[in-house]
């Protein structure tokens, strides 16, 4: 889950790498480091420390480092605590290395190559440097091949050899690496975001291929030593999407971008007023023939899946399971060729989702993935991929990726209904018209952000917050609650309001604010009664309700936000924006680092 960068060219490498590491910091931010090599060869100069990239930048200025070839790393600790020694790069013999991933057999490697007492850090990564050093006798490809065959686990490695100046070698298994030519050399990274300032052409390094970057460009070889073909991709997002665009935090910018990115995701997929996935190669037979659907995802992406479940079950009438990808394998999953598997992932790299998808494919399940990052592992591992067009999502807390995932699920549900002959032309038109209204409705909510800010102020000092709702409202709140927890550190729980009285209502006091969402006409009276139950236990209720209807009940809220009216199944969209903004403003007003909450990383490539 770390960020890696490598640059070689005619420019000063340290500045390029430090800027890139700042962009990659969302992947991990407990320590950072760079190594620079000299044109004449010789040991690389390593500068690293626990702390943020800004601290590393100061250290580099102090040490006045320079060089035209280098590798850099921002860390999310797995093996070995957060310390200067455990920060990357690691040097061993003639090798300097950075690593993202986990080497599972590092203990066995320490024994086999008698490394006990010879390592400076507690990391599995330094072990890889030592094994490489063991095999290195002047031929980098041979040393890399021999080393890779000894490794068990996941890795993205960037390597410099002290006697091969100006060149960076890289290889990966599962953990991502993308690479690109620049005007004057070449660059690699764990994420396209770091490459976008240089070029729009890049490629995903295929697993177990070795790339070599130099001023002359990039070469790639497979593990048997044959030259491999590079499949170039084009970044199709605008470069301005990777800066903060004047907002104090990426999270706010990404929340505000939602109307545009939903249009970008939906509009190209509508033909003759109907959803169309021919560009993705998804045939109607696939959508018509499945008997069951299994959604696999983690965190926010899984919450999008829960909304998809409600949509598909209510409109198509087939059973949908939404499974936490990390639990999928341990529950003896029953999936087969009649189960359509939908994997949802912003990064496309979440290892649990990837492994679950691979397992389902082995069982013969047809598969579609909904992914934001082009060419990511999950996209490549599934039969079909529908890309969300959210652009780079840099804030750790997912916002625009979630709502674009929902947009794809709305389209997919509609295509499935058409494929199964369930909808008349009129029904299709009504549904699609409503979907096309979403961006404008979101804009209406976003224009009231100051009002939402005032609402957020009322929970600023709360220790616990409960969120209650039923049906789709409950699904929305699961996501709203996760958002609040991760960026504000306030303990919060989403509860199905009918379930509250079976135990948890004991926790409701006048100190527990309750956010209630009421958007589903058929559930409204029950939801309002449940709100009354918590209010009579002293809770201050923040009510998000559809429309401006005057409620008959006595005043049961202390704050109210009236959501613009849409058909019930689309109310998720405006309600989610309000909950995202509440979480954002609480974090902002607490003075927290909104984009980089503690302990979290954006891309979770460890199980």
Catalytic residue IDs: 2, 602
Instruction: State the nearest-atom distance from the C-beta of 388 to ligand F6R, in Å.
Output: 10
Contact with ligand F6R (CB under 6 A) among 37, 74, 190, 300:
300
Contacts of 86 (CB under 8 A, 6+ apart): 31, 50, 75, 77, 80, 121, 122, 123
Instruction: State the nearest-atom distance from the C-beta of 568 to ligand F6R, in Å.
Output: 25
Q: Does 578 bind ligand F6R (CB under 6 A)?
A: no
Q: Is 156 exposed, middle or buried (0-12, 13-18, 19+ CB in 10 A)?
A: buried
Of 64-72, 114-122, 344-352, 527-535, the window that binds ligand F6R (rule: CB under 6 A) is: 344-352
Quick check: 482 and 600 in contact, CB under 8 A?
A: no
As given in the structure block, the two tokens for residue 390 are 């959210």
Order of all β-strands in the sheet with 201-204:
45-50, 31-37, 69-75, 3-8, 185-189, 178-182, 201-204, 233-234
Residue 279 DSSP label: G
Instruction: State the nearest-atom distance from the C-beta of 299 to ligand F6R, in Å.
Output: 2
For 55, the 3-state DSSP assignment is: helix
Q: Give the separation between CA 172 and CA 349, rounded to whole angstroms.
A: 13
Of 45-53, 176-184, 245-253, 296-304, the window that binds ligand F6R (rule: CB under 6 A) is: 296-304
β-pair type (153-161, 201-204): unpaired
Q: Does 586 bind ligand F6R (CB under 6 A)?
A: no
Residue among 67, 62, 104 at smallest CA distance from 89: 67
Contact with ligand F6R (CB under 6 A) among 301, 306, 484, 586:
301
Reported as half-sphere exposure (CB side, CA atoms, 13 A), residue 185 has a value of 21
Q: Give the separation between CA 479 and CA 494, rounded to whole angstroms.
A: 8
Instruction: State the nearest-atom distance from the C-beta of 98 to ligand F6R, in Å.
Output: 22
Instruction: State the nearest-atom distance from the C-beta of 390 to ligand F6R, in Å.
Output: 11
Of 64-72, 223-231, 232-240, 294-302, the window that binds ligand F6R (rule: CB under 6 A) is: 294-302
First to last CA, the chain: 11
Task: Tell me how many residues contact ligand F6R (CB under 6 A).
Answer: 14
Q: Does 480 bind ligand F6R (CB under 6 A)?
A: no
Of 121-129, 241-249, 295-303, 440-448, the window that binds ligand F6R (rule: CB under 6 A) is: 295-303
Peptide bond into 222 cis (omega under 30): no
Comparing CB distances to ligand F6R, the nearer of 185 and 597 is 597
Contacts of 569 (CB under 8 A, 6+ apart): 310, 311, 314, 315, 472
Contact with ligand F6R (CB under 6 A) among 157, 170, 196, 298:
298
Instruction: State the nearest-atom distance from the C-beta of 305 to ligand F6R, in Å.
Output: 10
Comparing CB distances to ligand F6R, the nearer of 350 and 382 is 350
Q: Does 428 bind ligand F6R (CB under 6 A)?
A: no
Comparing CB distances to ligand F6R, the nearer of 124 and 486 is 486
Q: Does 299 bind ligand F6R (CB under 6 A)?
A: yes
Task: Kindly report the number of other CB atoms within 10 A of residue 550's CB atom.
Answer: 4
Q: Does 346 bind ligand F6R (CB under 6 A)?
A: yes
β-pair type (168-173, 210-214): antiparallel
For 40, the 3-state DSSP assignment is: coil
Q: Does 345 bind ligand F6R (CB under 6 A)?
A: yes
As given in the structure block, the two tokens for residue 273 are 């007023």
Comparing CB distances to ligand F6R, the nearer of 44 and 606 is 606
Of 13-21, 119-127, 192-200, 293-301, the window that binds ligand F6R (rule: CB under 6 A) is: 293-301
Q: Does 353 bind ligand F6R (CB under 6 A)?
A: yes
Q: Please, which of residues 362-421 interact with ligand F6R by CB under 6 A?
A: 397-398
Instruction: State the nearest-atom distance from the C-beta of 547 to ligand F6R, in Å.
Output: 29
Q: Does 194 bind ligand F6R (CB under 6 A)?
A: no
Comparing CB distances to ligand F6R, the nearer of 353 and 382 is 353
Instruction: State the nearest-atom distance from the C-beta of 167 to ligand F6R, in Å.
Output: 32
Comparing CB distances to ligand F6R, the nearer of 132 and 601 is 601
Comparing CB distances to ligand F6R, the nearer of 96 and 382 is 382
Comparing CB distances to ligand F6R, the nearer of 121 and 346 is 346
Instruction: State the nearest-atom distance from the C-beta of 53 to ligand F6R, in Å.
Output: 21
For 491, the 3-state DSSP assignment is: strand
Q: Give the separation between CA 577 and CA 580, rounded to whole angstroms.
A: 5
Q: Please, which of residues 80-99 interact with ligand F6R by CB under 6 A?
A: none
Quick check: 94 and 129 in contact, CB under 8 A?
A: no
Contact pattern for ligand F6R over residues 148 through 177, marking x by CB under 6 A: ------------------------------
Quick check: 70 and 14 in contact, CB under 8 A?
A: yes
Comparing CB distances to ligand F6R, the nearer of 265 and 345 is 345
Residue nearest to ligand F6R (CB): 299
Q: Give the separation between CA 488 and CA 195, rounded to whole angstroms.
A: 31
Q: Give the separation between CA 405 and CA 401, rounded to whole angstroms.
A: 6
Task: Kindly report the number of other CB atoms within 10 A of residue 434's CB atom.
Answer: 15
**SS3 annotation, 369-391:** EEECCCCCHHHHHCCEEEECCCC
Of 91-99, 326-334, 345-353, 525-533, the window that binds ligand F6R (rule: CB under 6 A) is: 345-353
Of 85-93, 309-317, 346-354, 580-588, the window that binds ligand F6R (rule: CB under 6 A) is: 346-354
Q: Phi and psi at residue 510, in whole multiples of 5°?
A: -70, -10
Of 75-83, 126-134, 341-349, 549-557, the window that binds ligand F6R (rule: CB under 6 A) is: 341-349
Q: Please, which of residues 486-525 interact with ligand F6R by CB under 6 A?
A: 486
Contact with ligand F6R (CB under 6 A) among 123, 190, 326, 347:
347
Beta partners for residue 217, in sequence order: 214
Quick check: 395 and 250 in contact, CB under 8 A?
A: yes
Contact with ligand F6R (CB under 6 A) among 133, 175, 265, 350:
350
Quick check: 472 and 288 in contact, CB under 8 A?
A: no
Beta partners for residue 72, in sequence order: 5, 34
Write out the residues near ligand F6R by the rule CB under 6 A: 298-301, 345-347, 350, 353, 397-398, 482, 486, 604
């Amino acid at each position: 889950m770390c960020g890696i960068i490598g640059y070689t060219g005619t420019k000063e490498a340290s500045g390029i790498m430090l800027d890139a590491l700042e962009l990659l910091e969302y992947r991990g931010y407990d320590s950072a480091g760079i190594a620079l090599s000299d044109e004449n060869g010789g040991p690389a100069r390593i500068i690293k420390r626990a702390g943020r990239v800004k601290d590393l930048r100061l250290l580099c200025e102090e040490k006045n480092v320079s060089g035209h070839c280098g590798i850099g790393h921002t860390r999310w600790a797995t093996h070995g605590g957060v310390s200067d020694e455990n920060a990357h790069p690691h040097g061993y013999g003639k090798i300097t290395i950075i690593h993202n991933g986990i080497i599972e057999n590092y203990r066995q490697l320490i024994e086999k190559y008698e490394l006990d007492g010879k390592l400076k850090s507690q990391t599995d990564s330094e072990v890889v440097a030592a094994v490489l050093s063991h095999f290195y006798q002047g031929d980098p490809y041979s040393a890399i091949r021999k080393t890779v065959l000894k490794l068990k686990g996941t890795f993205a490695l960037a390597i410099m050899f002290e006697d091969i100046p100006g060149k960076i070698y890289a290889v990966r298994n599962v953990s991502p690496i993308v690479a690109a030519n620049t005007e004057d050399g070449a660059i690699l990274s764990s994420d396209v975001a770091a490459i976008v300032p240089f070029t729009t052409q890049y490629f995903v390094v295929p697993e177990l291929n070795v790339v070599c970057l130099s001023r002359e460009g990039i070469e790639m070889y497979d593990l048997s030593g044959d030259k491999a073909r590079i499949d170039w991709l084009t970044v199709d997002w605008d470069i301005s999407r990777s800066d903060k665009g004047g907002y104090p935090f990426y999270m706010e910018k990404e929340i505000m971008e939602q109307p545009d990115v939903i249009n970008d995701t939906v509009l190209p997929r509508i033909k003759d007023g109907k959803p169309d996935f021919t560009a993705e190669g998804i045939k109607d037979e696939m959508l018509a023939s499945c008997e069951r659907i299994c959604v696999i995802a983690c965190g926010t992406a899984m919450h999008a899946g829960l909304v998809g479940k409600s949509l598909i079950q209510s409109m198509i009438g087939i059973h949908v399971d939404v499974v936490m990808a990390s639990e999928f394998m341990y529950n003896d999953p029953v999936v087969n060729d009649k189960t359509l598997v939908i994997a949802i992932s912003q990064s496309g790299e979440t290892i649990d989702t990837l492994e679950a998808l691979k397992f389902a494919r082995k069982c013969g399940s047809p598969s579609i993935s909904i992914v934001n990052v082009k060419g990511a592992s999950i996209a490549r591992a599934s039969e079909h991929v529908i890309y969300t067009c959210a652009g780079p999502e840099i804030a750790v807390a997912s916002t625009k990726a979630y709502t674009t995932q929902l947009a794809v699920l709305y389209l997919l549900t509609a295509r499935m209904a058409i494929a199964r002959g369930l909808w008349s032309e009129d029904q299709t038109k009504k549904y699609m018209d409503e979907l096309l209204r979403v961006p404008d409705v979101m804009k209406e909510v976003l224009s009231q952000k100051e009002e939402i800010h005032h609402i957020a102020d009322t929970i600023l000092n709360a220790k616990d917050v409960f969120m209650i709702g039923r049906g789709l409202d409950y699904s929305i709140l699961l996501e709203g609650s996760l958002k609040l927890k991760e960026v504000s550190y306030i303990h919060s729980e989403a509860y199905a309001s009918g379930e509250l009285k079976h135990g948890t209502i004991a926790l409701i006091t006048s100190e527990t604010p309750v956010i209630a969402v009421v958007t589903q006409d058929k559930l409204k009276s029950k939801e309002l009664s449940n709100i009354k139950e918590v209010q009579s236990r002293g809770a201050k209720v923040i009510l998000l309700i559809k429309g401006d209807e005057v409620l008959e009940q006595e005043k049961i809220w202390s704050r109210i936000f009236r959501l613009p009216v849409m058909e019930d199944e689309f109310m998720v969209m405006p309600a989610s924006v309000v909950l995202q903004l509440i979480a954002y403003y609480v974090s902002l007003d607490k003075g927290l680092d909104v984009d980089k909450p503690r302990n979290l990383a954006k891309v979770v490539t460890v199980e």
